[in-house]
Structure formats: C-alpha cells, structure tokens
C-alpha cells in the first residue's frame, strides 16, 4: 500500500504566534527590585537516597543529585561516591575529582558554561583532599528554565551537598541580578523580565567564610556600575541564607 511521507515538521516554538491580549503583562504589578520570585528549596528530595537538593525560583526548577556510580564489578553503597572511573580502587590522585552531569539544557555552549561554573563553584568548597582517588558525581537536572538557571543550580547543588554528608566549607548562597539601562536592578529576573536588561551577574559566595565562589558577569555593564552591582547581588544572596538553612534543618528533622 503506498505510504505518504512528509518532511515538513515545524516545532511549535518556531511558529508565528497570535497571542491572547489577556496574556500581556504590561499591566501586571511589577516586583520590587529586591524581591525574589516565589521560591521553594528542599534538601533531601528522595527519602531513601542521600545527597539530593531541589531549588525553584519562579518557573526555573533545578534538581541536583549525588549518587553512587554503578560499575561492572560492584557498587559502593557506603559512600555517595565511586572509587574512580575504572572502579579499580587505586588512589591515582591525591584529591577527589568533582564531575557534573547536566541534563535538560539543549544548547551545547550553555551546557559547557554551566558545567564549568558549577564545577568551579563546587570544587572550591568541598574538602577534596579528604577524599583522595574518589570521584564525586553530581547530576544536575534542569526541569524548566525561565531565567537564572545558574543561580538556581548552585542553590540546588549546595542543598544536595549538605544532604550528602560530604565534608565542605559551608553553604553557598547565590543570587542572579540584572541591570537595566536606567541603572535599576532586578533581582532574580525571569527570561521575559530580563529582556530589556543590559547585563547582569550571578553571584555565589560562602557567607561564613566571606569568600566568593562564582561571579558570572554577562552583557555590557559599565565599569563604574560593576562594584555596586556585585555588592547588591551579595546582599541579595545573603537574604537567601535563612531559607537554605531552614531547608537543611528540616531535612535533618525528617531523617530523625
């Protein structure tokens, strides 16, 4: 029987849109410059498994998990990390290796950038010298992306690290702030809110050490505006610390 084939296949996102007027957000009440989007953070998402964290800022949702790497020969269930890529148990290096697997991001360039920032931020806080020859695997799944995914991912990874029991220097607080052309700041902007921004920064630091672990500047930010922007982002990140602490404390209570 003859079959009909067609090469035309257009993704819905590539079609021209006729939007519902009611969906326009011009008359929607704007957030204040210091307010985050509605957020939800959870430490220990999967009861039976150690080392998971979930962070949600508006419609940006990221899940981070640390889990054992299954090898052909055996599974090390006592710790949340494997004994090396080949699983041969040899202490090849004097410190642990941190690897991040990123899922849910389509753009290859963005995957590489996110992975580099996350690996750098995480490696800075883990006592990698205490785990020689080990590989710490973290799987970061972006469930949905509506702006600020790096900041959300750092928060999720921080919570997963706190839940895993791996020794580290402290919790990392992170915030994404955009700068508009009139000099106004937008804290934790969504993709649509950041459309008219000239640039922004994702700022992550460890509050109890007062040390920065990630500064990701993008766009065209005037030199004079950089310092105030970083300081504003730092203040916004500090505002998240109580929420992260509460999530960690709640996970401890749940374990008991």
Note the residues at the interface with another protein (CB under 8 A): 3-6, 8-20, 23, 45-49, 52, 59, 61, 63, 65, 67, 69-70, 101, 103-104, 137, 139, 141, 143-145
As measured in angstroms, the least distance from the Cβ of 13 to another protein is: 8
Residue 103, H or E segment: strand 97-103
- Comparing CB distances to another protein, the nearer of 18 and 94 is 18
User: Do residues 188 and 37 make contact, with C-beta atoms less than 8 angstroms apart?
Assistant: yes
Q: Least distance to another protein from the beta carbon of 182, Å? A: 31
CB of 24 to another protein, least distance (A): 11
Minimum gap (Å) between residue 119 Cβ and another protein: 17
Give Cβ neighbours of residue 216 (< 8 Å, ≥ 6 apart): 117, 150, 201, 202, 203
Query: Whole-number minimum distance, CB 54 to another protein, in Å?
Result: 9
Closest CB to another protein among residues 58, 199: 58
**In the complex with another protein, which residue's Cβ is closer, 9 or 208?**
9
Spatial contact of 141 and 62, defined as CB atoms under 8 Å apart: yes
Q: How far is the CB of 2 from another protein (least distance, A)?
A: 9
C-beta closer to another protein: residue 34 or 191: 191
5 exposed, middle or buried (CB, 10 Å; 0-12, 13-18, 19+)?
Answer: exposed
Distance separating alpha carbons of residues 56 and 36, to the nearest angstrom: 11
Give whichever of 20 and 29 is closer to another protein, judged by the CB atom: 20
* 3-state secondary structure (DSSP) of residue 139: strand
- Give whichever of 67 and 203 is closer to another protein, judged by the CB atom: 67
Distances (CA, A) of 164 to 12, 44, 55, 81: 40, 9, 16, 10
Distance of closest approach, residue 185 Cβ to another protein, in angstroms: 27
CA angle 36, 37, 38 (to 5 degrees): 115
**How far apart, in whole angstroms, are the C-alpha atoms of residue 225 and residue 179?**
9
Decide whether 39 or 169 has the Cβ nearer to another protein.
Answer: 39
Helix (H) or strand (E) holding 186: strand 185-187
């Amino acid at each position: 029987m003859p079959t009909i084939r067609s090469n035309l296949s257009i993704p819905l996102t590539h079609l021209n849109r006729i939007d519902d007027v009611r969906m326009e957000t011009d008359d929607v009440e704007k957030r204040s410059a210091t307010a985050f989007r509605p957020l939800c953070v959870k430490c220990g998402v999967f009861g039976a498994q150690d080392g998971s964290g979930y962070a949600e800022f508006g419609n940006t949702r990221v899940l981070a998990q640390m889990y054992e790497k299954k090898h052909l020969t055996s599974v090390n269930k006592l710790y949340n990390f494997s004994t090396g890529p080949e699983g041969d148990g040899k202490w090849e290096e004097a410190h642990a290796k941190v690897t991040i697997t990123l899922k849910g991001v389509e753009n290859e360039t963005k995957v590489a950038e996110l992975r580099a920032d996350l690996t750098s931020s995480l490696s800075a806080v883990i006592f990698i010298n205490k785990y020689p020859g080990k590989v710490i695997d973290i799987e970061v799944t972006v469930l949905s992306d509506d702006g600020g995914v790096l900041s959300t991912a750092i928060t999720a990874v921080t919570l997963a690290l706190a839940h895993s029991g791996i020794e580290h220097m402290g919790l990392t607080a992170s915030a994404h702030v955009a700068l508009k052309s009139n000099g106004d700041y937008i804290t934790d902007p969504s993709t649509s809110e950041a459309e008219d921004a000239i640039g922004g920064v994702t700022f992550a630091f460890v509050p109890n050490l007062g040390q920065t672990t990630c500064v990701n500047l993008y766009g065209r930010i005037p030199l004079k505006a950089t310092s105030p922007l970083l300081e504003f982002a730092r203040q916004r990140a500090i505002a998240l610390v109580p929420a992260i602490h509460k999530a960690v404390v709640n996970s401890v209570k749940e374990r008991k």
